[in-house]
Amino acid sequence: MQKTDPIRILVADDHPVVRAGLVALVDRRPDMTVVAEASNGQELLDQFLLHRPDVALVDLRMPEMDGADAIAAIRERAPGARVIVLTTYDDDEDIQRSLRAGAKAYMLKDAARDDLLAAIKAVHEGRTLIPPAIATKLAESIGAPTLTARELEVLALVADGKSNREIATLLFITEGTVKSHLSTMLGKLDASDRTQAVTIALKRGLLRL
Amino acid sequence: MQKTDPIRILVADDHPVVRAGLVALVDRRPDMTVVAEASNGQELLDQFLLHRPDVALVDLRMPEMDGADAIAAIRERAPGARVIVLTTYDDDEDIQRSLRAGAKAYMLKDAARDDLLAAIKAVHEGRTLIPPAIATKLAESIGAPTLTARELEVLALVADGKSNREIATLLFITEGTVKSHLSTMLGKLDASDRTQAVTIALKRGLLRL
DNA sequence: ACGCAAACCCACCCGCCGGCGGATGTGCCA
DNA sequence: TGGCACATCCGCCGGCGGGTGGGTTTGCGT
């Protein structure tokens, strides 16, 4: 095949500057073209279903609808959709969530131009692609335990400076129970302290300020 | 004056994608042109002194040399330099540091294209410009107290899950002294707890994970 | 149906955190 | 040179945090 149609791409990011950068990068290439843009998760879903692009570049942190949720929603109605996650952070949690949602590649925004373009081509050809740095991150977090919904609820209140007694009344349980949840979390996160538990959870993206 | 030279601009950001976006945005305008790029603070300083652009767009979070430090270094050798800070976050600390360093404008990366271009023109004409959202942030933080170097040192160890006794030995002081520092910080930050002290400091950008 | 793991719940004991009062040293300005 | 503000330093005491050991329910696999 000597002449094929260009790869049709959808760009989704809430920062106008970043969108402009991606569009500029892509449109310079003759074998790629941007067919649509979106600035939040809802738009992303709508635009995807409307244009059916070959590849979608999406940021995870977006208003209206979270990037990972949007990806899941897309792949529910278009199982073959090829999505590349492009984000600023390398939180374990974000990576896992987006890959579970069905993303084909995970790139950081500080990636070089060529790496990004290569990723687009690779994903378009049906391959999946995770950079080595991310892959090791992922491998590390395999053994990492997961917190239950209740535990996260407790931890969020801890981060807010609430005492065990306050948390207990807020959640309609006993102070002893709160301590128990906290204790298991200290074990899971390998933290020596409620404070360190919070900072570790923040590092891993389990918690947001 | 009907025809003037285009505004000469320097773009500094460690993300290639963002640089591409800014370049694309600016070069589309006939009255502006990008004369140089930099991907870290050191390059920024070198490129600025080499090209002497009319306006510099710089990201704060950069390797090698912090954006604010680079700005300070630039303005030391070129007092008239006009710098626009362009960042992802709206930490009180970052805002204040960069403005103290001599930045003429502070914009967030989620700003609209037109706002950004308007800011460039405004700064080039000698005006300074802070968006209302940032201005209120700044106003709020005026009354906010500042932590001493020693206090920050203690707080960083607290965030690491160290106990008061451990911190004491690490800093060659008594446990009582550590508690004292902590106590004054709780007052300054209006925190009820060492944990909340850490999260508040993180929110304000006084501390990094 | 059984075993089993995991989530959620609880009570008791000891040690550490945080509040309080107070001491010393340093820089600044009248 | 006194006075003031602030950073740094210290000890005592009550109350909260975290470890330990254990109980109940839900869901899952065989």
Angstroms from B192 CA to nearest CA on chain A: 6
Q: Are the C-beta atoms of B158 and B182 separated by less than 8 Å?
A: yes
Which chain B residue shows the shortest CA-CA distance from A199? B159
Angstroms from B109 CA to nearest CA on chain A: 6
A144-183 confidence digits (pLDDT tens): 778 999 999 999 999 999 999 999 999 999 999 999 999 9
Amino acid B93: pLDDT: 84
Q: What is the DSSP string of A60-103?
A: S--SSS-HHHHHHHHHHH-TT--EEEEES---HHHHHHHHHHT-
Amino acid A91: pLDDT: 83
Closest CA to B63 of B38, B81, B100: B38
Q: What are the tokens at A130? A: 């995770």
Q: How many other β-carbons are positioned within 10 Å of the β-carbon of residue B166? A: 15
Query: Which parts of chain A sit beneath pLDDT 50?
Result: 2
Residue to substitute from B195, B202, B206, interface A, most A β-carbons within 10 A? B195
Q: Does A76 touch chain B (CB under 8 A)?
A: no
Residue to substitute from A9, A17, A196, A207, interface B, most B β-carbons within 10 A? A17
B142-163 confidence digits (pLDDT tens): 667 789 999 999 999 999 999 9
0.75 exceeded by the pTM?
A: yes
Amino acid B145: pLDDT: 78
Residue B139 has pLDDT above 80, yes or no: no
Residue B1 has pLDDT above 70, yes or no: no
Q: Are the C-beta atoms of A196 and A157 separated by less than 8 Å?
A: no
Amino acid A96: pLDDT: 83
Residue matched to tokens 């930490």: B91
Closest CA to B205 of B161, B155, B168: B155
Amino acid A95: pLDDT: 85
- In total, chain A counts a number of residues equal to 209
Report if CB A77 to strand D is under 7 Å.
no
Find the Å distance, CA of residue B192 to C1' of nucleotide C9: 27
Model confidence at B18, pLDDT cuts 50, 70, 90, reads very high
Q: Does A15 touch chain B (CB under 8 A)?
A: yes
Amino acid A105: pLDDT: 93
> Cα(B81)–Cα(B86) distance, rounded to whole angstroms?
16
What mean pLDDT do residues B160-189 have?
93
